[in-house]
Structure 1
Amino acid sequence: MARTKEFDPDAALQAAVELFWERGYEATSMADLTERLGLGRASLYATFGSKHELFLRSLDRYRENTDATLLTELSQPGPALAAVRGVVRRFADEALREQRLRGCLVTNTATELAAHDRDAARRVRASWDYLETLTAGALTRAQAQGELGPEKEPQALARLLLTVMQGIRVVGKAGDDPRRITDATRLALSLLD
């Protein structure tokens, strides 16, 4: 007879998300994971596989949560341009607050692993593709609603904003001069006028 799990795998996965988000992949040891998740190594391996597999599942969970927020923000009815501006400003605000020390798990993964980890890179690209697609869709709606000039290129603007938002997150982690973030945000948003 198989033993039933004596822990909540969903809660354990969320704890892993938080730990990888705080420390990164390389700086998180198996001992750190077993301690934070409250699991023995055998249970951790049996439930989640290797550290790498757990990291990828954690990254997927993080993306599910952030993608749902972005979908809500950028797909709401009403003025679409205000929604795009709101998302860019939120990224900037997060980079200027205490969360800046953790940054974004997707952006952190891009800088730590994407160059040599194909699975991580694929997830980073998927996340950025999603943000770009949602942003381009909102900008296209803004154009159709007369909020954005007909000479503007929604797809190109979405790519620019994606790049600015990801850059804001990287610069925010260093946190040495908030003007870098505020100036970049202001100038990027001025392109929507």
Structure 2
Amino acid sequence: MARPREFSTDGAVEQAMNLFRRQGFHATSMPRLTARLGIGNGSLYAAFGSKDGLYADALMRYCDGLVGGIERDLHSGADVRTALRGLLIGLAAEGAADPERGCLLIGAVTERADHDATVRQVRSALDGVESALAQALRRAQDRGEVPREHRPEELACFLTTFLQGLRVMARARAGQAYLESAVDGALRVLD
């Protein structure tokens, strides 16, 4: 009979996600992972199959949280410019406050570009971000907040790309004032 699991897989995924955000996949060794999670190799392999399996679960958690957070922020009831500015400034502030804690999407796609499953996970999350932005922009057009001549899909593509660039600049320690200025410039595309 198998022994019952003595740790929370949910908590382990959260801890691993935070470690992968700081160190990346390759620099996060198995001994470092098991020490951080407080489990042995056997428990990690039994629960997740491998380091890759744990990474995939951590990336999925991160992606779900990112897309879900963006959807919530864009449905806040505020006009689209206010909602977008709040979302972007919030992401910039998070990055500026702790630049070592990077964006797992950026880390995943740059560090594991040759790993098809990782690239698909990242692409799916970015598609979700883009879709949420396009929906918010279409609603904003219906309310007269964004000119009709703008194409919501194009704006969403630009804003998704800008959002990732903003996170890279935060990790490069650009500073809050710089990042806020960039956000204000980017939002002029809605004029």
Common fold by TM > 0.5? yes
3-state DSSP of counterpart to 1:25: helix
> Residue deviations 1:121-145, cap 9 Å, x none?
0111011101110001101100100
Q: Which moved more, 1:79-88 or 1:1-10?
A: 79-88
Whole-Å separation in 2 of the counterparts to 1:130 and 1:157: 14
Q: Residues 59 and 174 (structure 1 numbering): CA distance in 2 closer, same or farther, change over 3 Å?
A: same
| Residues 125-144 of structure 1 mapped to structure 2, 5 A cutoff | 125-144=123-142
Partner of 1:23: 23
Gaps of 5+ in 2: none
| Residues 28-177 of structure 1 mapped to structure 2, 5 A cutoff | 28-98=28-98, 100-113=99-112, 115-176=113-174
Whole-Å separation in 1 of the counterparts to 2:174 and 2:158: 23
Q: Residues 177 and 12 (structure 1 numbering): CA distance in 2 closer, same or farther, change over 3 Å?
A: closer
Whole-Å separation in 1 of the counterparts to 2:81 and 2:175: 28
Deviation, structure 1 residue 78: 4.8
Residue identity opposite 1:123 in structure 2: Q
Tell me if structure 1 keeps the 8 A contact 2:74–2:80: yes
Partner of 1:5: 5
Deviation, structure 1 residue 149: 1.0
Residue identity opposite 1:110 in structure 2: V
Tell me if structure 2 keeps the 8 A contact 1:84–1:138: no
> Residue deviations 1:24-60, cap 9 Å, x none?
1000000011101111111110111111111011101
Residue identity opposite 1:185 in structure 2: V
**What is the count of residue pairs matched by the alignment?**
191
Gaps of 5+ in 1: none
Deviation, structure 1 residue 178: 5.6
TM-score normalised by the chain length of structure 1: 0.91
> Residue deviations 1:92-116, cap 9 Å, x none?
2223222x22121112212221x21
Q: 2:185 is matched with which residue: 170, 176, 187?
A: 187
Tell me if structure 2 keeps the 8 A contact 1:75–1:134: no
Cα RMSD for the two superposed structures? 1.7
3-state DSSP of counterpart to 2:6: coil
Tell me if structure 2 keeps the 8 A contact 1:88–1:161: no
